[in-house]
């Protein structure tokens, strides 16, 4: 999912930097990337395999991005 400010949110199974071997561990990571350059802006280990693509929603004017990993739904509030 890409935002209007060119931030790409993606979840992967395994660590982007560790190569295919890390994917076998079953740990999921969620990334925010600069959609123009591919630069990693931030990342978070989710402790379980990513189960879905990112989704977005708004509550009281604040935008959130959510992703399911393992048996948990993670939600991240975006800066305004």
pLDDT tens-digit map of 20-44: 554 445 578 888 899 999 899 988 8
Identify the pLDDT of residue 1.
Answer: 75
Identify the pLDDT of residue 14.
Answer: 57
For residue 29, give every residue at least 6 positions away whose Cβ sits within 8 Å of its Cβ, in sequence order, or none: 11, 12, 14, 15, 16, 43, 44, 45, 46, 50
Report residue 45 as tokens: 């280990």
Identify the pLDDT of residue 21.
Answer: 53
Q: Is residue 47 part of a domain?
A: yes
Q: Is residue 1 part of a domain?
A: no
Residue span of the structural domain in which 44 resides: 7-77
Distances (CA, A) of 35 to 4, 6, 9: 10, 5, 9
46-78 pLDDT, tens digit each: 888 888 888 999 999 999 999 998 889 999 998
Cα angle at 34 between 37 and 19, to 5 degrees?
A: 80
> What is the domain count for the chain?
1
């Amino acid at each position: 999912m890409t935002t209007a400010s060119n931030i790409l949110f993606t979840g992967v199974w395994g660590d982007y930097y560790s190569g295919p071997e890390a994917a076998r561990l079953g740990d999921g990571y969620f990334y925010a990337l600069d959609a123009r350059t591919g630069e990693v802006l931030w990342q978070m280990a989710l402790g379980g395999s990513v189960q879905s693509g990112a989704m977005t929603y708004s509550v009281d004017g604040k935008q959130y991005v959510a992703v399911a990993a393992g048996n948990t739904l993670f939600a991240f509030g975006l800066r305004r």
